[in-house]
Amino acid sequence: MKIFLGLVCVIFGGVGWIGQLISGINFQLAQRWGLQEKSCGTDPLFRRAEKNAARWDSFVLWTLMAAGILMLIDNSWWPFLSLLAGGIYLDGAGREGAKYLSLHREGVRIGTSRDLMRDAIFFTAMAVISLWTMIYALWFITTKLNLI
């Protein structure tokens, strides 16, 4: 289980972190590559907010990838970094989902229906992976390490 979850964390965390790193550095490139919504379908304020959020995300989203690497090499710090990363990712998924819903309901242009579906799938995967990671880390801490 730990190896599989470690691979999921490395791949999913790496994709998310690298995508946000590219978006924070070169937003137009991220748009061309489909990592961000195209300008024609979005409000300028939304694009500015997404670019600034990408800069913050590139600062914190590496944690899930790092937790996965620690799982794979069986480093004793993996459960603790997994709890931190899971919390960051769960917060991000919930906050982004709430933001998208509220902006969409207020009529702010936030992308095409295809963009919205892609983002909903990604945020749902984010939430599931973060919960899975945190639950597994807590299980490991309580049963294997007998810390709680």
Name beta bridge partners: 110: 42
The predicted pLDDT at position 34 comes to 86
Confidence of residue 147 (pLDDT cuts 50, 70, 90): low
Tokens of 36: 């961000």
Residue 133 within any structural domain of the chain: yes
The predicted pLDDT at position 40 comes to 86
Alpha helix (H) residue ranges in the chain: 2-25, 27-32, 44-60, 62-72, 78-105, 113-143
d(CA 67, CA 81): 5
Residue range(s) defining the domain that contains residue 88: 2-143
**For the chain, what is the domain count?**
1
Residue 148 within any structural domain of the chain: no
Residue 121 within any structural domain of the chain: yes
Residue 90 within any structural domain of the chain: yes
